[in-house]
Every structure is written in C-alpha cells, then in structure tokens.
Chains A and B, each alone.
Chain A
C-alpha cells in the first residue's frame, strides 16, 4: 500500500505521495492514514465547483485536485481586480479547512502550471510544467534548459522539430500565446442575473422577494434579445459554500416575470426537503440555460381570452407542482398494436397529435374507453378452441358473455423481431373480441396466439368499453 496524498503536516515530516505505507509508518509510527476514496474526492471537487459558480458561470474540473475558472469579465463584482476575487476565493477555501493555491493566468494552462508549481511567473516554471513525456523533460534538463524561461527565448521551430508538435503547442499555451477555451462543466447560460447581499438572507419571504427582482431583471434582458426562456434556474449560494438549485421548465417560451414568480413560489412550496438557509444566502443567481425566440404579439381588439396561453400557464403550473411527467397529452403512434397506437407524453414536451380517426356514424365503438397496460390475464371458457369466449373470470368475478363480436385479428409486429420473417417466429397473433356480459358491461378480450402458433394460448382483458 502506498500513500496517495499527504497534508501539509505530513509533508513537513518528510512524507511524499507514492511512498510505501510501511516506510511511512516506520518513520512516523502514529501516522493517521485513511483509505483512498477517489469517488469522494471527485464529489468534493464537484461541490467546490458548484460553490465557485458564484464567481463565474464558466467553471471546469481539473481532476484530481484542480478547478479552472474563466473569470474574464467577472472581477468587477469583487472590487474590480482579479486579485480581490482570488483573495475572496482563498478565504472561503480556508473556512472549509482546505488549502488552496490560487494562480491567475491569461490561459488555463499557464494558470494551472503556476498553481501546481507554486511560482509567480511563467519564466520560473520548471520544464516539467510542459506536462510532456518524462523523456522530453530529461532531455531538456540535460541540455541545460531548466525553466520555461530558458525555452521561451529559443527558436520555436527547432524545438517543435526535436520534440514534436504537441510539445510546441504546450509551450505556446504555457507562454500565453495560444488560448484554448475551457469546457465548462455546465453549459454557460444565455442570461445570468445576480443579486449580492451584504448580510445573508435566510427568510423564505426575502428569498422570494429576491427571486421576483431577478425575474424582472431577467425579463428585461430576454426582451432585449427578443427571446423567452424555456428553463429558469435559481442558484442560492449559502455563505458556507453550499449551493441549492431550483429549476422550473415552461412549455412555451416566456419572459413574464409575474408568471416566473408564481412558478418559483410553487416550486419552493413543493420541495420534498424544504430549503435550508443555514446562516443565510449571500448571493442569488438566476440563469436561463434554455431560451427560444419570442416575438411580441398584438392582442386582439376584443377582450378575448387567449386559451393557448391560459393552457400553457396551467400546464406549467401543474408541471412544476406535480412533475412534468404527470401532466400529459395524447399522441398517435405509428403502429397497429393497440397499446402503441395511442400513448401519452408530457404536455410540456410538445403539442398533442391532432390526426385522430373520426368516429364511424353507424358503427359502435371498436376501441375501448380504458386500456389496461399490461393486459390483465383472465380465465376464459370457449365452446371451440379457437371460438369466441362464452364466459370469463376476471378479478374473482364470473362474467357470462351475452353478445360478442370478433375476432379482430391483429398480427404481431414481426419486423421488430430478429427472425420475424420466418414462419412461426413473428410473435403470437392476437384475436380480439368485443364482448358484452349478461349485466351489460362491455369488455375487450383477446386470445394471445392462434392454435397451432402456440400450444396453449392465454386470454387477456385489454380494455373496458363505456
């Protein structure tokens, strides 16, 4: 077993990562050792990254121990200088008992190298900061080129020819000549509005008031862009570094501040574990990760109710409260299998299908009012093996069949099966019967499989008619 990481005190005692545990114990018998848990390390890093979104929306993980923040244009909130931002970050990390090395650089690579090697200037970085092969590092050091500063003045073409294009590019990035953008861990939102508090707020009413304010600001920004948001997120930054996120989705693009206010109020009311403000929130963000174009429309002269808008508002409201998958529309499926011919989808996901078969005037209903999914097994007695049912037992109740229509034969979708085109491998055929029992209840039964297709076909109840 080996040491993976050491704290400052251990480093002071001469421990280094990679050292055998037995050696370390021999030197310091009462060494405190914990199992390496990469998962927990990763989670801590993610948690820190969440907290760092108070500084910038663009934040990337640099496992195992680093975070890269793109703070271009973000420093004005912290007194205008990057150094003030870095100080604030360092202080917050210290409050959590973490030692942070913060470095600023024009490119992610230079900042990262400076933080990792604890130097202030790029020129002072050792050649190991290139992060190339060990062979390259050795070769450079043997040639007397110990620091990046030594390399910086030399002709770049010869360097690239000797050690490869990749090393040349790494050098350019370290020297802040080439700027690769970082890939943020969360998509950078279209719109972000922020509210800072000198004193942390803890009461829900105050939080709601802040959300109202942010919603109004966001609405103005959206209006300038001619857009409406489809998803709104509130991030509540607790002063101890924890971040709570609330999100609402809307079915149609919107920038109605009053509506957002209501939706967020609904969202907070329905949280399964209520907001825990702890010592209060010192910053609240609202972001709009998803937006679509929304052109202002002129209202009609007559005061007609806009049913589409009313319906969208109702759908959003119920979706926020109960969950989007509980508010549904009907859709037609491209299939003749009954359970696939009509299905439900969340109402926020899109408009319902409008192409439904119109009823036949003289025909009674051929499809049931309600469908069981999965079908319910029933015990059926029939006069002939492949004849219509005479009586059946469902939910411990025997129904005598009074009149019957059928069979309506529905073949399985053989093309979905691996060898479905071969005889007998297409899946069992269903014979549907519309049945009325002696008490006047109407059922939809089917026999799963023809005689000959399967040995002993089972019967199922698939639906109930009005």
Chain B
C-alpha cells in the first residue's frame, strides 16, 4: 500500500498529532468576522476537517459547505479533487458543473473521482493529497464507513500537513466516530434571507463547531455564501441567538469523554 509510506515530517516528531501553535499554522479564514474571531483566524489550511450533516437531508448542505471552503482557498492553478463513491452518487445525484460555476467555482479546475468503494476512495484521496496538482481534496463518504477510523484519518492528516493541502472529509449523515481531524463541523441548511418577492435567497448554512484539536470551544453560527467575492458572511441566527456556545452535546465522542 502506498499510504503506508507516509511519514510525519521530522520536525513534528512525537507530537505529530498535536495541534501546532498558530505561528507555524497557515490559517484559512472563513470570511465571516464572528466565526473567524471564534476560530482565532480560521481553520488550518494544511489539515483535515470533517463535515457532518445535522440530518440525513442535510447531506447536500455538508457537501456544499466543504466545496465552498475549498473555494475559499486563494486562487492558484491547483485543482480541487472531489472523491466520492458509487453510493454517494446514487443517493444524492451528481455534481452539476453549471451550478458549481454559479457558486463561484471554476469547473475546469475540478477533477472528479468516483471510486467503487470507501477503500479505493481513501487511497485516491491520499494520492490526491500527496500529488502537487491538488490544492484541496474533498472526500465524500456518507453513511457508516468502518474504514474511516482514527488510523486512516491520521494518515490523511499527516499527508495533508506534509503537502500543505486542505483536506476535507464530508461524512453526511454518518455518526461521528473517533478521528484525527483538526476540526469537526455539523452543517445544516438554514433558511435564506428571502429576496424581494419572497424568492429564495443566497445559500445559508447553520454551522456548528463540534470539536477543535486546538481547544477552541464549540460554537454555532449562521453564515451565508457570497459567490461574487467567494466569501462567507455572518447571517443573523433566527430566534435572536447570536454566535454563542452550543456545547458539545451533539457529538457522541465528546459526550463520552466528558462522562
């Protein structure tokens, strides 16, 4: 297996899995000031991040949010590698390039990989991360996937750090399992601010930071995507809630730890 050859860089040494201090970390700001303030600048640009759906019908929102995070990367010639399986395509349709173009993506920079199963998808993602062609690698594996565990995610984390690639793991409606990802998010599709004439507005998400390896407290926020500037903006939470701590109660792993 090629994945076996990944080694942490010598400098990371024994503390290879520890969240590194901000000085060495390149951070990718989300754009929404309230969220970035909470995140102390943004999410690690060379790390693995997980996106879970709040509900099985939010799987598309989780996938779309991951794609938009990849679009947040500064414009370069590198590609975005989207790895998914036969199962995901069957359940939630294919990526629609005309729609992606309207979201601000350049479909010419997207490379689609449809793997037959999770094992091949993981290998393809690892290859993509190590290849210098990809600036971001998105792996979509919905539902129960036993192969996506602490070991396989750690491999992805180490490969991403070494290559400086943004690795995003879309887990859809899966139950959160232990993983080495730097952040874990829960994404839910949120009502958009209607445009004049009660017309559905811009893409809006309720995001919920479930855990952060750097010790940032969980919080919830509502953000809306601006495809013109490729940036997220803060959107008011309905019911007068501000971006406040929502606790980690929705994450079974955290719940187990605190118990």
- Listed stretches A12-20, A102-110, A208-216, A305-313; interface member: A305-313
From 74 to 119 in chain B, residues with beta carbon under 8 angstroms from any chain A beta carbon are: 77-79, 81, 92-104, 106-108, 110-116
B127 CB-CB contact with A under 8 Å: yes
Q: Mark A332-360, 1 if CB is under 8 A from B, else 0.
A: 10000010011010010001111011111
Output the least CB separation between A137 and chain B (Å): 61
Q: Is the CB of A404 within 8 A of B198?
A: yes
Q: Mark B179-210, 1 if CB is under 8 A from A, else 0.
A: 00000000011111011011111111110000
A341→B134 CA distance, assembly (Å) = 26
A354→B96 CA distance, assembly (Å) = 15
Which of under 10, 10 to 19, 20 to 34, or 35 or more describes the interface residues of A? 35 or more
Q: Is the CB of B78 within 8 A of A321?
A: no
Q: Is the CB of B189 within 8 A of A440?
A: yes
B58 CB-CB contact with A under 8 Å: yes
Output the least CB separation between A32 and chain B (Å): 48
| B interface residues, Cβ below 8 angstroms from A | 57-58, 60-61, 63-65, 67-68, 77-79, 81, 92-104, 106-108, 110-116, 120, 123-124, 127-128, 131-134, 188-192, 194-195, 197-206, 225, 227-228
Q: Is the CB of B131 within 8 A of A310?
A: yes
Q: Is the CB of A365 within 8 A of B189?
A: no
Which residues of the other chain, B, contact A74 by a CB distance below 8 angstroms? none
Q: Mark A30-66, 1 if CB is under 8 A from B, else 0.
A: 0000000000000000000000000000000000000
Q: Is the CB of A357 within 8 A of B204?
A: no
- Using known A-B contacts A322-B113, A365-B227, A436-B192, determine if residue A442 contacts B101 with beta carbons closer than 8 Å: no
Output the least CB separation between B256 and chain A (Å): 29
Name A358's closest neighbour in chain B (CB-CB): B101
Sample of 15 more A-B contacts, CB < 8 Å, known A326-B115, A328-B113, A364-B201: A305-B132, A311-B111, A314-B131, A322-B120, A326-B113, A327-B111, A327-B113, A328-B114, A365-B203, A365-B227, A370-B60, A371-B96, A403-B194, A404-B198, A405-B197
Q: Is the CB of A310 within 8 A of B102?
A: no
A356→B79 CA distance, assembly (Å) = 16
From 425 to 450 in chain A, residues with beta carbon under 8 angstroms from any chain B beta carbon are: 434-436, 438-442
Output the least CB separation between B37 and chain A (Å): 24
Name B116's closest neighbour in chain A (CB-CB): A322
| A interface residues, Cβ below 8 angstroms from B | 305, 307, 310-311, 313-315, 317-318, 321-322, 326-332, 338, 341-342, 344, 347, 351-354, 356-361, 364-373, 397, 402-405, 434-436, 438-442, 463-466
Output the least CB separation between B192 and chain A (Å): 6
Name A435's closest neighbour in chain B (CB-CB): B200
A310→B132 CA distance, assembly (Å) = 6
Output the least CB separation between B161 and chain A (Å): 18
Q: Is the CB of A403 within 8 A of B107?
A: no
Name B78's closest neighbour in chain A (CB-CB): A307
Which residues of the other chain, B, contact A369 by a CB distance below 8 angstroms? 60, 63-64, 67, 95-96, 99-100, 103
Which residues of the other chain, B, contact A327 by a CB distance below 8 angstroms? 111-113
- 10 nearest interchain CB pairs? A466-B64, A440-B191, A330-B97, A311-B133, A342-B97, A371-B96, A436-B200, A466-B203, A310-B133, A367-B99
A402→B190 CA distance, assembly (Å) = 12
Q: Is the CB of A442 within 8 A of B120?
A: no
A370→B195 CA distance, assembly (Å) = 22
A435→B58 CA distance, assembly (Å) = 15
Select the residue from B65, B107, B205 with max chain A CB neighbours within 10 A: B107
Q: List 5 contacting pairs A-B, 8 Å CB cutoff, sorted by A.
A: A313-B133, A314-B111, A405-B200, A438-B191, A466-B60
- Using known A-B contacts A338-B98, A403-B199, determine if residue A466 contacts B103 with beta carbons closer than 8 Å: yes
Which residues of the other chain, A, contact B190 by a CB distance below 8 angstroms? 440
Q: Is the CB of B108 within 8 A of A352?
A: yes
Q: Is the CB of A442 within 8 A of B200?
A: yes
A466→B112 CA distance, assembly (Å) = 18
Name A441's closest neighbour in chain B (CB-CB): B189
Q: Is the CB of B101 within 8 A of A464?
A: no
- Using known A-B contacts A365-B203, A370-B92, determine if residue A330 contacts B107 with beta carbons closer than 8 Å: yes
A315→B81 CA distance, assembly (Å) = 10
Output the least CB separation between B222 and chain A (Å): 10
A32→B202 CA distance, assembly (Å) = 81
A102→B141 CA distance, assembly (Å) = 60
Which of B58, B95, B102, B113 meets A365, CB within 8 Å? Answer: B102
Which of B65, B92, B103, B120 meets A359, CB within 8 Å? Answer: B103
Output the least CB separation between A358 and chain B (Å): 7
- Using known A-B contacts A322-B120, A354-B108, determine if residue A366 contacts B93 with beta carbons closer than 8 Å: no
